[in-house]
Structure 1
Amino acid sequence: MTGLIETSAALIDWQKLSYGTAVSALLIVVLLTELLLYVRHARVRAQQRKDLPPGPWPWPIVGNLPAVANGNLQQLVAKFGPLMSLRLGSMPCVVVSTAEAVKELVRANDERLSDRPETLSFRIITDYKTIATAPSPGKLWHKLRSFSAKELLSSKRVASYEGTRRDELSNMMHVLLEASDKGEALNVKQWLFKTVANSMTRMLVNKRIYHGNETNSYKEEVKEEFNRWLQDRKRYALAHLISDFVPWLRFFSETVQGWRPRLEAFVDRQTVLGVKLLELEKHRERGVEKEADSSYVPDFVDVMLKTPITDGEVLEEEFLIKQAMEFFAAGTETSSTAIEWGLAELVAHPELIKRAREEIDAVVGSDRLVQESDIPQLPFLQAVVKETFRVHSFSPLSIPRISTAPAEAFGYKIPSGTRIVFNLHAIHRDPAVYENPDKFDPDRFLLRHLDVNHLAAFDSFELIPFGVGRRMCPGFNLGNTVVHFILANLIHSYEWSVPPGGKLDMTEAMITFALCLKNPLTLVPKHRDGFPAF
């Protein structure tokens, strides 16, 4: 290809062109060269496709990107089946769309399919040295994964923060009581986000970000920086850049479109904010002071500062900040969005919220808030949460993986270097598994699908809201606990209604990479007489 470009480029007098015209001319040369190569190797590609899962024929250069970008993925899945081959630009991809296909692929090939594809945003924001992005298999990833499973996000560690989560919920329920007393409508989405964010910042750094006082929260300018950072993180971390799919357009994405300086500027802002949020020196000093205090519960940063991870050393400060900020981003909007959807579905189905409330009242009574220890005794609530995860996946498609070695499934061969995407929207609505899959019906998890365990990495492939296999989200236990705990207390202590003259709008919309309610859930809370308000 290089020789063809040089031959074509030799016909242009580059010295007479402006910078912009030169770039355009170079792109045209490269495009024409790509087209020539596409035609030349068409027969070879046709032979290679015989062993691949079926899929639409790709266009030159862009592959199947136009069809995916136009929202036609689910129609393609219906046509080509549970394993479908795509070419996204020059990158081969396999989309997995049924529970049986997930089972077939993961059980035999998971270790080969647990790496992440390289992208410009991951490279700059994380340097591939965080739990979500470190290469797998690989020494760093295994060390980080072991650290998160045994130390940071273990069941014991998550349980140790129960009092913290209870304090933060109680703190934010004062806002509900005020709205109830005034009979005012509440932006439930915003309230949930702040509640979950407070729980995360308390667990991470033992300070709350919203509705605190001077001794236990941040200054107003830090809150504003935090809000801006979260919005920018969503926009940048999973940005779909053309160069991630067509590598020879890297210069175009990085320089012409300006993505590299924008991402680098974001990382600089993130580091500055991380220093303010984490207060590492204060943590080090406090760690020394609290060593002899057996009652002290160390926060996440305390644990990261004292636990050796690689070669007997703790994380370097740069990567400790990156990892902590990754936890901030991953643990807030995912949980708050799931609770918003769950409450919206219950309000839309009055008979379901009545059943859930009656179950909670029977177990908890009326003289205290719901505790996390009550959750195992609330099977209908658990079914509601599972059904919420099923019907309203946070993202319709999983974060892509990439194969590090050839794999096989259903007789098809998947080459090394293929991106693997789990189509959660289709998997969770698989008609071979779920009767009336588009209906919100928690009873399905009390009857036919009673044994489904969405927290198991290698079982229950029909419900995988936290992912599957080795690359499953390490915070699954914490996220699942937060969703149950907050939703249960909202049902128990308050009744919810649509504002007068309004209606419940369940319209979905993709906001950045998340599938949310198009319009934030807005309801009127009414405190139940005789029940705890906070």
Structure 2
Amino acid sequence: MEHSPSLFLSTLQSLWLFVIIVLKPLIPSLIQKWSKKQKPKLPPGPKPWPMVGNLPEMFANKPVHRWIHNLMKQMNTEIACIRLGNTYVIPVTCPTIAKQFLSEQDAIFASRYVNTCTDLVTSGHVTTVLVPYGDQWKKMKKILTTALLSSHKHLWLQNRRTEEADNLMFYVYNKSKSVNNGVAGLVNIRSVAKHYCGNVIRKILFNKRYFGKGRKDGGPGFEEEEHVDSIFILLKYVYAFSISDFIPPLRRLDLDGHQKKVREALNVMKKYHDPIVQERVKQWNDTPKMDEQDWLDILISLKDADNKPLLTMEEISAQIVEVLMAAVDNPSNAFEWALAEMINQPNLLQRAIEELDSVVGKERLVQESDIPKLNFVKACAREAFRLHPLADFNVPHVSMSDTTVGNYFIPNGSHVLLSRKGLGRNPKVWNEPLKFKPERHLTSDNGSNVVLTEPNLRFISFSTGRRGCPGVMLGTTMTVMLFARLLHGFTWTAPPNVSKINLVESNNEINLAEPLMAVAKPRLAPQLYHL
């Protein structure tokens, strides 16, 4: 049967008329549905102001980390989007979503956020942890992982770490025999823990404990106190929320004063570091066959394919600053919080002591070789990392392209902040999340060996993925030795006028509001404490 052309045209016209009359009103909604399917919404968040985003709210609600967490709680969300200037800031408190960022899409979120303070600390972003993804980061990370933090180098420097663990015992023993504020044996735990960590990393870097003359009791001198204080100033301000960072034309104005504080702290550190570095470089130039004694020697002696120095003086100096920043904060903060919690729960202290006495006995000091067997001590450290992190958020991860995470659109250039507190205290993940319960980590999941890493991001200790901490072995050793030596060597109690340690967080940060003061009493033979 043949169809005439006029019939075909008439049918076509009818179909077109149907489209215009019936489907035209539906076209916008169909396009909208298609668009939504192709490009999901941003995570929930407060409505931003034109140009400045949510900077007015950020400025009005200090500290910013509490404002962010309260905002997420009010919105009942585990991922949010807060626009600061033109930057999308994405805080996350859900381990499942966090894993999508740092495991499933790790390659996209492997860069870093650049601001004036990071530029100052890294001498123009020539280091590792704080620099954007690229060739410089790859070069420096390879040096860290293969030249400094390998298993071989870790074993090579074991004696240096042991020297500082021995000095820790000597110093606290001397404090236990003295009177502080009218109380015999009263010890400032925050000071002791910070300076132990500072001593270890200085010995590894420079093969020295003291920049100055030192002290006969094993404690820090003025130079070491100034040095460690400067490290913590850098840690406080390098990624602090600053209006200047989110409005580029204002960066040079330093409206919050963060840049000034960072410069001053860097000047203090370089006052001590640079003369050592310069003298050591001269020694290597004058005596090419010198033996390597520490990390500084390694950094200076590295050669490129043409047998020329692989690193510039600027790279060496900046990397030293960054290493120091990475080494002193988490172990010292974890021990201070853990001991405060354990003094309030004496059964936990007793359990740790029983484990240490069983593994080590009372005729010798704890050694690094004992660490695999000290599972309850390691569980206490894990629990401190979970419940009491030093920083509110991890170092920001910056997306290098548009992507989708957790069914939300994450634009290129977004700053992803994994909440250390939000992950570690998430009630959907942890039973009694605000209670210090080390035994929660003694499960069949970890077999017979508790570790401080947490690849599932239920809390953050060393993070994971491309930008995870390469110093897991060193960080674990420093942390566990700090816990084990002090728990094994002394009994700890609250001061006589204190019935219970006050576990209140500070107003602006999440460390203890006041340094922990505790009374130490030696529990081993006196000769074990002497150098």
Question: Structure 1 length normalisation: TM-score?
Answer: 0.81
Aligned to 1:244: 245
Asked if the contact 1:143–1:309 (Cα under 8 Å) also holds between the matched residues in 2, the reply is no
Q: How does 1:107-506 map to 2 (within 5 A)?
A: 107-126=103-122, 127-136=124-133, 138-182=134-178, 183-209=184-210, 213=214, 222-223=223-224, 226-227=227-228, 229-230=230-231, 232-234=233-235, 236-251=237-252, 253-254=253-254, 267=266, 270-276=269-275, 278-282=276-280, 285=283, 291=289, 298-308=293-303, 313-447=309-443, 450=446, 454-455=452-453, 459-502=455-498, 503-506=500-503
Aligned amino acid, residue 372 of structure 2: P
Deviation at 1:194, TM superposition (A): 1.6
* C-alpha distance in structure 1 between counterparts of 2:293 and 2:235, whole Å: 29
Instruction: Select between 78-87 and 188-197 the one with higher mean Cα deviation.
Output: 78-87
Greater Cα shift, 126-135 or 61-70: 61-70
Q: 2:504 aligns to what?
A: 507
| Residues 176 and 520 in structure 2, CA contact (< 8 A), matched pair in contact too | yes
* Greater alpha carbon shift after TM alignment, 519-528 vs 309-318: 309-318
SS in 1 for 2:491: strand
Q: Deviations over 1:436-491 (max 9, x none)?
A: 111111111112653685536xx322132222211112223212211101111111
Cα drift, residue 66 of structure 1 = 4.8
User: What percentage of residue pairs aligned between the two structures are identical?
Assistant: 29
Post-superposition offset of 1:375: 0.9
User: How far apart are residue 239 of structure 1 and its match?
Assistant: 4.2
Alpha-carbon distance change, 102 to 219 in structure 1, aligned in 2, over 3 angstroms: closer
CA deviation after TM superposition for structure 1 residue 387, in Å = 0.8
268 and 518 in structure 1: CA distance in 2 versus 1, 3 angstrom threshold? closer
Q: Deviations over 1:330-361 (max 9, x none)?
A: 21233211111122222121101111110111
How many Å apart are 1:266 and its aligned residue?
5.6
Q: Report the residue type matching 1:362 in the other structure.
A: S
Residues 454, 464 of structure 1: 8 Å contact kept = no
Match of 2:68 among 66, 69, 73: 73
Task: Count matched residues.
Answer: 478
Shift of 1:218: 13
- Aligned-partner residue type, residue 243 of structure 1: S
Asked if structure 1 preserves the Cα contact closer than 8 Å seen for 2:334 and 2:385, the reply is yes
1:308 to partner: Cα distance: 3.6
Distance 1:390 1:290 in 2: 47
Alpha-carbon distance, 1:61 to partner? 4.0
For 2:529 and 2:271, the matched residues in 1 are separated by: 38
* Contact kept? 1:397, 1:422, Cα under 8 Å: yes
Match of 2:28?
none
Question: 1:498 and 1:218 mapped to 2: Cα distance?
Answer: 22
In 1, are the aligned partners of 2:382 and 2:438 still within 8 Å (CA)?
Answer: yes
**Code of the aligned partner of 1:275:** D
Name the amino acid aligned to 2:43.
Answer: P
Amino acid of the residue matched to residue 506 of structure 1? L
- Larger Rg computed on CA atoms: 2
Gaps of 5+ in 2: 1-34, 179-183
Equivalent pair of 1:196/1:335 in contact (CA under 8 Å): yes
Q: Distance in 1 between matches of 2:220 and 2:278?
A: 17
Deviations 1:43-74 (A, max 9, x none): xxx99995212222123444234555442222
The 1:226–1:265 alpha-carbon spacing in structure 2 relative to 1, beyond 3 Å, is closer
> In structure 1, what is the Cα distance between the partners aligned to 2:89 and 2:260?
29
Q: Which amino acid aligns with 1:63?
A: G
Query: Residues 418, 133 of structure 1: CA spacing in aligned structure 2 closer, same or farther, 3 A cutoff?
Result: same
Q: Residue 494 of structure 1 aligns to which amino acid in structure 2?
A: F
In structure 2, do the counterparts of structure 1 residues 146 and 58 end up closer, same or farther at CA, with 3 Å as the change threshold? same
Instruction: Please provide the CA RMSD for this pair.
Output: 3.2
CA distance in 2, matches of 1:442, 1:413: 38
Question: Equivalent residue for 2:21?
Answer: none
Q: Which structure 1 residue ranges, 5 or more long, are not aligned?
A: 1-45
Contact 1:188 1:522 in 2 (8 A): yes
C-alpha separation in 2, matches of 1:485 and 1:525: 17
Determine if contact 1:144/1:309 at 8 Å carries over to the other structure. no
Aligned in 2, Cα 1:261/1:349: closer, same or farther, shift over 3 Å?
closer
2:89 to 83, 89, 93: 93
2:9 is matched with none
CA drift at 1:388: 0.9
User: Is the CA contact (8 Å cut-off) linking 1:393 and 1:515 kept in structure 2?
Assistant: yes
User: In 1, Cα distance between the equivalents of 2:219 and 2:174?
Assistant: 23
1:201-248 deviations in whole A, cap 9, x for unaligned? 111100102896599x99967446525633543454334331211223
Conservation of the 8 A alpha-carbon contact between 2:333 and 2:511: yes
